[in-house]
Amino acid sequence: MTDQLPAPGAADGAPADYSPQEPAGKYDAELDRLFGVGGPLAPAVGTFKPRQSQTEMAKAIASAIDGQKVLMAEAGTGTGKTFAYLVPALLWGGKTIVSTGTKNLQDQLFLRDIPTIRQALKAPVSVALLKGRSNYVCHFHLERTLQNGRLTSRDDVGHLREISRFIKMTNSGDKAELAKVPENASVWNLVTSTRDTCMGAECQYYQDCFVMKARREAQQADVVVVNHHLFFADVALKDTGVAELLPSANTIIFDEAHQLPDTATLFFGQSISTSQVLELCRDVLAEGLAHARGGPDWAKVVTVVEKAARDLRLTFPEGGTRLSLPQVPPTSNFFPALDKLKEELDGLIDVLEDQAERAETLEACRVRAVELKAAYDAWKADPKAKVPEGEQAVLWVEAFNSSLQLHKTPLSIAPIFQNQREGTPRSWIFTSATLAVKNDFKHFADQMGLTGEPALTWPSPFNYGEQGVLYVPTGLPEPNSMGYTDAVVDCALPVIEAAGGRTFFLCTTIRAVNRVAERLRTEFAERGLEFPLFVQGERGRTELLDSFRNAGNAVLVGSQSFWEGVDVRGDALSLVIIDKLPFAPPDDPVLAARIEVMEKQGMNGFMHHQLPEAIITLKQGAGRLIRDVDDRGVLMICDPRLISKPYGRRIWQSLPPFKRTRVQEEVLAFFKPAAE
């Protein structure tokens, strides 16, 4: 293997003249007009410029909508994929569900992108936004919290006052509208409902309920914007209102579709947590004292259950433990503690059955207790049972600081998702900047049960060869060696200085984030470098990004949440440093079980699963650098395996076709014109 990075060329993937054009469709001429120079989109969007890849993508999506087909569509950064799918969806999609990766993207689509296109095209479509129930203030739980006054901090008291004012003025009840109360404030848990704590049609506020109002609006709308968590929670739980929308939907569009395998796995699996038991105990105590004070000693009833839940948590060391069921030693206290918790839940259920008729809320607690006990009972492996291939699952345990979660995760979501797509004919569009590995969609298609379905890719309109450099430094130790992170920082410092700050330092672990931040703080002080330093975890993600953009010469150190969905255009970001190739941690129980199954089938778990996953994640991280036609910058990947391992070629051939170098002087020279 050569020690150098060859210059990018046609060998990097598809041939240079690759153009995924299909035969002309019936909407092609209209789309040429809409996306063309004199079309209606240009005046509506000040920065709009016709892009061939965007128009071609819109045609492919229109064709899939017209033929009620599946389409996987990868479009490089800068293609304008949002408009490419929204224009045909709004004009010809019928009832359309658009699902995005995050609530922030959901709000952006609903508040900005869709209104812009609807106005430009004069499209007579109605649009609704639907979020999970925990995003809407609940009248019942707000009133109960105001009466009980069970608040633990002065902040919560102030936040509760703001929420009380807000509920009198809002039409939607969506907590995103109330900027004065942080999204992660603990008080939100007390004033929103969950599937378990919702009273449903029995609730005195049912007619005014914001969740039900949002669902009614979604029922009547032509276009409904949801997010992946909501979509799959619904498919799995039939609880979010999407279940009622699906039968009438003609078109389903998943944006940021590369996130779907992980999201679907999360929801098609089952998880139970000791924190759910503690929440149940909290509510049983409150409702028992409110409605059945003359009954049992409620404090005593819940204390034994709470103790059993906490004892179960304490059977594992603090935080960070992830073990599959076979890895839990048979001698562990875990098994007796689990049996004890089930026993105490049975006792709680007996008490609630005697008292449930006293109040609807006590009956709701009884139902929750029965469901929790059933979930704990179902979390077991039966070695004698023959499980059909599509239902194979891995049982595993995850310990957090204050809770223990038991998971049952499907080994493959492909058969489950295939079942969801059967039935009513409709079009399914999956789009992202990162679905393929070297223009090969096999990994994503296999994960989602889309094998054999059409897939197309459109290159970014950016001139990566002129705008950016891929730099893989020489002389770094192997990533698993002691002091690796320090060596990376030493190597990065001259480049950060040459770039004038303006850096994203992306790490694969929180431990590395903390070490990099500690070193940079010290080095900046010693060298007199006045670059503001922002570190993940010290403030909220949005606040960190706003501060980074405003500073203009900052360094931001982050891990997973900054690898994707982050858009910093212009001069504020000119250097993206990646410490290691983002391979999944080897102790992941689900990954280990999947690899075991693949290897039994004669496949190579690393080449067929871990490597494609790492490439797609790396493409996301690399995509932070060039966000606009005038952006310039350096992508610095520090991991020597990119050069030393045979699989390295496959990785860098999947990245944008930057100019490539291993020479630090060339990188420092790249920044000089910008600095002068």
For residue 675, is pLDDT > 50?
Answer: no
For residue 162, is pLDDT > 70?
Answer: yes
pLDDT tens, 624-669? 999 988 899 999 999 999 999 999 999 989 999 999 999 999 999 9
Q: Higher-confidence residue: 475 or 540?
A: 475
Classify residue 471: in a domain, yes or no: yes
Per-residue model confidence (pLDDT) at position 676: 44
Domain range for residue 101? 19-131+213-266+413-458
Stated pTM of the model: 0.85
Per-residue model confidence (pLDDT) at position 19: 40
Classify residue 190: in a domain, yes or no: yes
Classify residue 14: in a domain, yes or no: no
Q: According to the per-residue pLDDT averaged within each range, which of 22-36, 216-230, 369-383 is highest?
A: 216-230
Average pLDDT over residues 208-236: 88
Asked if 205 and 217 sit in the same domain, the reply is no
Asked if 567 and 643 sit in the same domain, the reply is yes
Please give the share of the chain, as a percent, with pLDDT higher than 90.
62
Asked if 36 and 111 sit in the same domain, the reply is yes
Specify the residue for token string 């004919």. 425
Cα separation of 407 and 321, whole Å? Answer: 13
Closest CA to 197 of 183, 211, 208, 185: 211
**Where does the pLDDT of residue 28 fall: very low under 50, low under 70, confident under 90, or very high at 90 and above?**
very high
Asked if 439 and 566 sit in the same domain, the reply is no
Cα separation of 56 and 569, whole Å? Answer: 25
Classify residue 198: in a domain, yes or no: yes
**Where does the pLDDT of residue 315 fall: very low under 50, low under 70, confident under 90, or very high at 90 and above?**
very high
* Strand segments (E) across 251-330: 251-254, 270-273, 321-324
**Where does the pLDDT of residue 384 fall: very low under 50, low under 70, confident under 90, or very high at 90 and above?**
low
Asked if 449 and 487 sit in the same domain, the reply is no
Domain count along the chain: 4
Asked if 293 and 364 sit in the same domain, the reply is yes
Exposed/middle/buried for residue 585 (C-beta within 10 Å: 0-12, 13-18, 19+): exposed
Classify residue 418: in a domain, yes or no: yes
Secondary element (H or E) of residue 432: strand 427-432
Average pLDDT over residues 456-485: 94
Per-residue model confidence (pLDDT) at position 550: 94
pLDDT tens, 483-493? 999 999 999 99
pLDDT tens, 573-588? 999 999 999 998 877 8
Asked if 331 and 473 sit in the same domain, the reply is no
Asked if 470 and 324 sit in the same domain, the reply is no
**Where does the pLDDT of residue 511 fall: very low under 50, low under 70, confident under 90, or very high at 90 and above?**
very high
For residue 390, is pLDDT > 70?
Answer: no
Per-residue model confidence (pLDDT) at position 232: 85
> Residue 327 in contact with residue 257, Cβ under 8 Å?
no
Per-residue model confidence (pLDDT) at position 23: 53
For residue 320, is pLDDT > 80?
Answer: no
Q: Higher-confidence residue: 146 or 385?
A: 146
Token reading at 648: 């390295």
**Where a domain ends, among 209, 225, 241?**
209
Classify residue 279: in a domain, yes or no: yes
Asked if 356 and 402 sit in the same domain, the reply is yes
What CATH number corresponds to the domain at position 66?
Answer: 3.40.50.300
Asked if 487 and 450 sit in the same domain, the reply is no
Asked if 472 and 580 sit in the same domain, the reply is yes
Per-residue model confidence (pLDDT) at position 139: 94
pLDDT tens, 176-199? 889 888 887 888 988 999 877 888
Classify residue 417: in a domain, yes or no: yes
Specify the residue for token string 């005593």. 300
**Where does the pLDDT of residue 248 fall: very low under 50, low under 70, confident under 90, or very high at 90 and above?**
confident
**Where a domain ends, among 188, 209, 230?**
209
For residue 385, is pLDDT > 70?
Answer: no
Give every CB contact of residue 665 below 8 A, 6+ residues apart in sequence: none
Please report how many Cα atoms fall inside a 13 Å half-sphere around the Cα of residue 267, on the Cβ side.
Answer: 20
Asked if 479 and 439 sit in the same domain, the reply is no
For residue 9, is pLDDT > 80?
Answer: no
Burial state string for 208-240 with b = 16 or more CB within 10 A and e = fewer than 16:
ebbbbebbebbeebbbbbbbbbbbbbbbbeeeb
pLDDT tens, 120-129? 999 999 999 9
Specify the residue for token string 């120079």. 37
Token reading at 38: 């004199």
pLDDT tens, 534-575? 999 888 888 899 999 999 999 999 998 899 888 898 999 999
Classify residue 76: in a domain, yes or no: yes
For residue 386, is pLDDT > 70?
Answer: no
Per-residue model confidence (pLDDT) at position 613: 93
